Amino acid sequence: MPTLVNRVPSTIRPDTDHPYMTGAWSPTFEEWDGADLTVIGEIPRDLDGVYLRNTENPVHEPIGLYHPFDGDGMIHAMSFRDGRAVYRNRFVRTKGFLAEAEAGEALWAGLAEHPSKSLRPGWGAQGGLKDSSSTDVVVHAGQVLSTFYQCGEGYRLDPATLETLGVEGWVPADGISAHPKVDEATGELLFFNYAKTAPFMHYGVVGPDNRLKHYVPIPLPGPRLPHDMAFTKNWSILNDLPLFWQEDLLPRGIHAARFHPDMPSRFALIPRYGQPDEIRWFEARPCYVLHWLNAWEEGDEVILDGYFQEDPAPPPLPGFGRMGQMMAYLDEHSMKPKLYRWRFNLRTGETKEGPLDDRILEFGTFDQRVAGVKNRYVYSTTAKPGWFLFTGIVKHDLDTGRSWSLAFGEGRYGSEAPFAPRVGGTAEDDGYLVSFITDMAENRSECVVVDAKDIEAGPVCRILLPHRISSGTHACWAGGERLASRPAPAG
């Protein structure tokens, strides 16, 4: 039976009405070990590995206006082996988490406030923020790595116990961005960071032995806000997009993101172990892209897929007062991201670009075994208008243009759903999509497993969790062979 391991004391007011501290975003403070869980359907015996999801769970009453990306990181894991599943969740015990636990209160103001309101200003990530390590999660060199929305330190966790092992030792002084990339073919981890001082960006490669192998500057014209990157077999793709902090406000400690529609988007293609003088720069339509999908090489071209935002600077959502702008930047239906493709011609220097779908889609996944080479299938999420909540999945066949959809259901909100290959499977979509669901109607959470070949058939199984978990941001899948340690099988 599931075991409640720990309940972290919280100072959040029980009567809070903040839209991202209530409802599907209500934080959880309990840490569980869960075996012998209730299963609706049958867990596939050819599913072997772990599904990991990062979530934001603020422990303390915030200083000023709370932004959901400020919340303390909590990793949820569902491990699968031999037709059984084991659930576990743990807070990422960052330096900030431990300092606030000792103080018994929040010490840092968040993204929506001036850093001078912090009780410990100047200690943390970009802009003096607390590094809560609550954004992404990947598996590299056998262990779990959690990251922060801006440039954090990166925290390692044991994949079996989710015990926090500490700050990643190779991380440079400027930290690492939210989205380092793991090349499963080579075992390398590719990353970048950004700062408010020249050269404003760096790029690096960490080997499968978890040692830093390569680290070089990527000179930019000024401070920027890149969020993600992509790679091919030979190139790493970084970006300089025209949405970034207003430079004249930075000396006053004000981090206000502005869109500059008169500036082009720029893409830096650098050989994986390349030097700054080997960068190939390409220009494209002004836009912002939060997340990229895959990239690959085809003849003279490098092809990149991602989600083009049609309105990177939406007006505030009405009815939310001071929170209106924050709510708009969390609402995909305000920013209107669309599945999109860029083609960079290495011979001519020309960029060709255009949409692949006219629907509002984001937070996509694909089979990570083909990262860096041409892929056929992509799995994007749909969102609830006005909210940062995932309502379903759309599968695209990029070769034929066909697509299929799965809605989670009324009041049911999912998470990023990575592809988990079927043991022994060969086809690119021969496997499963795994997601956690927060069900507001039933006041519970569950893990769903969906056949990637037929998502419209719905889940092949639903595994009920011992508590209702908060909505969150990113997730990943790691096959059992990639893990340094694994929980004991249930049953």
Closest residue by Cα to residue 76 from 50, 98, 95: 50
435 and 76 Cβ atoms separated by less than 8 Å: no
Average pLDDT estimate for 352-375: 98
d(CA 329, CA 315): 9
Which burial class, exposed, middle or buried, applies to 122 when counting CB atoms under 10 A from its CB (0-12, 13-18, 19+)?
Answer: exposed
Which CA distances in Å does 271 have to 305, 363, 368? Answer: 19, 26, 20
- Structural domain boundaries in the chain: 3-482
pLDDT confidence tier of residue 126, bands split at 50, 70 and 90: low
pLDDT digits 0-9 by tens, 324-342:
999 999 999 999 999 999 9
- Report the candidate in 132, 12, 97, 113 with the shortest Cα–Cα distance to residue 61: 12
CB-CB contact of 257 with 244 (8 Å): yes
Read off the tokens for 390.
């995932």
* Tens of pLDDT, residues 142-177: 999 999 998 999 999 999 999 999 999 999 999 999
pLDDT tens readout for residues 167-205:
999 999 999 999 999 999 999 999 999 999 999 999 999
Residues β-bridged to residue 144: 139, 157
| Mean pLDDT of the region 119-135 | 78
More confident residue, 240 or 113: 240
Q: How confident is the model at residue 489 (pLDDT cuts 50, 70, 90)?
A: low
pTM, 2 dp: 0.96
Which residues fall within 8 angstroms of residue 401, CB to CB, at 6 or more apart?
A: none
* Res 252: pLDDT: 78
Determine contact, residues 164/491, Cβ cutoff 8 Å.
no
Tell me the C-alpha distance between 337 and 319, whole Å. Answer: 23
Whole-number Å distance between alpha carbons of 203 and 176: 9
Q: What is the mean pLDDT of residues 218-223?
A: 96
Inform me whether the pLDDT recorded for 26 exceeds 50: yes
Decide if pLDDT at 123 tops 70. Answer: no
% of the chain at pLDDT higher than 70: 98
Task: At 170, list the tokens.
Answer: 């190779």
Per-residue confidence at 491, pLDDT binned at 50, 70, 90? very low
Q: Which amino acid is at 322?
A: R
Coil, strand, or helix at residue 248? Answer: helix
DSSP state of 210: S
CATH fourth-level superfamily of 3-482: TolB, C-terminal domain (2.120.10.30)
**Chain centre distance of CA 415:** 10
Write down the pLDDT at residue 256: 81
Residue with tokens 């569980």: 32
Please, which residues have CB within 8 angstroms of residue 291's CB and are 6 or more apart in sequence? 179, 227, 228, 306, 307, 362, 363, 364
